A = this chain, B = another copy of it.
Amino acid sequence: MSVEQPVAASSVRRQAELGKAASRQVALLSTEQKNAALRAMAGALRREAETILAANAEDLHRARAAGTPAHLLDRLALDPKRLEEMARGVEAVAALPDPVGEVIDRDVRPNGLEVERVRVPIGLIVVIYEARPNVTSDVAALCLKSGNACLLRGGSEAYASSQAIVQALRRAVAPYVDPNAIQLVESTDRRDVLALLTMNGLVDLVIPRGGADLIATVVRTATVPTIETGVGNCHVYVEATADEAMAVDIVVNAKCSRPSVCNAAETLLIDRAIAPRLLPRIGEALRQRNVELRVDEEARRILGYGTPAREEDWATEFLDLILAVRVVDGLDEALAHIARYGTGHSEAIVTRDPAAARRFQQEVDAAAVYVNASTRFSDGFELGLGAEIGISTQKMHARGPMGLRELCSYKWLVRGTGQVR
């Protein structure tokens, strides 16, 4: 970090203060009020489509001029169809159950005290994310529905788009709640974002959604609570008794269906007992999909091709059509490999042996552990949360896909008739 002073630290602090004050209002909104605000947000995205698309065209123009590669331009680009999807996403959040006020448990103590734990919002949540402008409306909707205020920091390439989106959303919620419940950080200076990470008492939570570097910086710098999301060095382990066709399907799906996401597989571990027969079949299926293999010696002997894997390949989240391949001597070696290189995201075993399945699920220390299914299911929608703000790879508070409940805390409500201790 540079030693210069953040130019606009005071204005970022002011935004945090406004957000914190707004969070007290959002927390008290009824479900009906929040849903009405969400429907108004969806309406505003449609009504202000022209303005938003014009802002997005500016961002695209600047990005093209800066020589941004085509796949990143695609992430950045909005069109009427994508904007309509964003509006529908916000409406989908309105349709989800309200987590706030849910009674988690209830008890009457021997002395007559009535004790409840009730779900409550967290407060002001800072979310830091990368270029996709659609994340802006997603995150705003999830925070509002869970009774939180949000202060958003999208990718600087998408600043004009995010600004237009946030302005539309703020106008939409104004009849229901202080519009500072939804704010965009009014600065693209990285130091201003870093300043937010130590605003204890104002910022209740920071969620970094992005690459390993962003997350590491946040964890290192923050004194406010954070939730680490998303770095997934995921493995598929094909055990000796695996159904072979199933193994091929799962490996191909876990690697190829969307290689750029965190729940895609990065390493295949295959048992020595089954590798000579099955690995060529898997290799052929992957070759048809242009997957580059980084293989250990034994895999290379079996396949007759493949780039020799280097040590760092086992630890790399390729996020690309590249798969590391290692032949292992049974479950223990697979478990040891995953314990050493895994990032605690999603791990899968393909097996017909119930004992191996059980041990794998018990001993692998990861957010999601799969038997006979693709790691690609690590997703809030797929696992039944109805929405997702990110996938936590930490163990505290929330682990794996996080939905509306995971954006909440709880409090103990105790009712008595004069009890003392």
- Compute how far the CA of A378 lies from the CA of B28 in the bound complex, rounded to whole angstroms: 24
Interface flag for A305 (CB, 8 Å) = no
CB–CB A28/B382 < 8 A:
no
- With A107-B384, A219-B223 in contact, is A377–B419 under 8 Å at CB? yes
Residues of B within 8 A of A420 (CB): 249-250, 252-254, 257, 373-374, 376
Question: Which of A32-40, A134-142, A175-183, A359-367 lies at the interface with chain B?
Answer: A359-367
Does A400 reach chain B (CB closer than 8 Å)? yes
Check if A96 is an interface residue, CB within 8 A of chain B.
Answer: no
**Which B residues lie within 8 Å of A366 (CB)?**
411
Q: Does A308 contact B (CB under 8 A)?
A: no
Q: Is A188 part of the contact surface with B, judged by Cβ < 8 Å?
A: no
Distance A250 CA – B420 CA, assembled complex (angstroms): 6
**Residues of B with C-beta under 8 A to A357:** 415
A223's partner among B220, B362, B374 (CB-CB below 8 A) is B220
Q: Are B414 and A113 in contact (CB under 8 A)?
A: no
Whether A410 and B399, one on each chain, are in contact in the complex, defined by CB atoms closer than 8 angstroms, is yes
Q: Is A200 interfacial (CB-CB < 8 Å)?
A: yes
A373 engages B414 (CB within 8 Å): yes
Determine whether the beta carbon of A373 is less than 8 Å from that of B409.
no
Structural contact, B384 and A115, CB atoms closer than 8 A: yes
Kindly provide the distance from the CB of A408 to the nearest chain B CB, expressed in whole angstroms: 9
Closest to A419 in B: B373
- A384-B107, A419-B377 given; A411·B219 CB < 8 A: no
Contact A413 B200 (CB under 8 A): no
A205 within 8 A of B: yes
A65 interface contact, C-beta 8 A: no
Contact A369 B400 (CB under 8 A): no
Of all chain B residues, which has the CB nearest A252?
Answer: B420
Stretch at the interface among A55-63, A294-302, A390-398: A390-398
- Our pick among B252, B339, B411 for the contact of A400 (Cβ within 8 Å) is B411
A418: Cβ under 8 A from any B Cβ: yes
Separation of A177 and B201 alpha carbons in the complex (Å): 42
Quick check: B421 and A376 within 8 Å, CB to CB?
A: yes
* A396:B28 contact, CB within 8 angstroms: no
Of B122, B363, B367, B374, which is within 8 A of A419 by CB? B374
Which B residue's beta carbon lies closest to that of A384?
A: B107
A225 contacts the other chain (CB 8 A): yes
Identity of the chain B residue whose Cβ is nearest the Cβ of A228 in the assembled complex:
B225
Chain A residues 35 to 92 lying within 8 A of chain B, measured CB to CB, are none
- Report the separation of the CA atoms of residues A412 and B388 in the bound assembly, to the nearest whole angstrom: 15
> CA of A223 to CA of B409 in the docked complex: distance in angstroms?
22
A259 at interface by CB-CB < 8 Å: no
In this assembly, does A370 line the interface, its C-beta being within 8 Å of a C-beta of chain B? yes
With A368-B412, A395-B123, A412-B367 in contact, is A113–B373 under 8 Å at CB?
yes
A246-297 CB contacts (< 8 Å) to partner B: 246, 249-250, 252-254, 257
Q: Apart from A24-B339, A107-B383, A373-B414, what 6 extra A-B contacts exist at CB < 8 Å?
A: A28-B363, A123-B365, A253-B420, A254-B420, A371-B416, A376-B421
Q: Pick 20 A–B contacts, CB within 8 A, sort by A.
A: A28-B362, A109-B384, A113-B373, A120-B365, A205-B395, A220-B223, A225-B394, A227-B396, A250-B420, A257-B421, A366-B411, A369-B411, A369-B413, A370-B414, A372-B419, A373-B415, A373-B418, A383-B414, A399-B411, A401-B412
Pick the 6 closest A-B CB pairs, nearest first.
A373-B416, A253-B420, A395-B409, A246-B418, A368-B412, A397-B397
By a beta-carbon cutoff of 8 Å, the part of chain A in contact with chain B is 24, 28, 107, 109, 113, 115, 120, 122-123, 200, 204-205, 219-220, 223, 225, 227, 243, 246, 249-250, 252-254, 257, 339, 357, 361-363, 365-374, 376-378, 382-384, 394-397, 399-401, 409-421
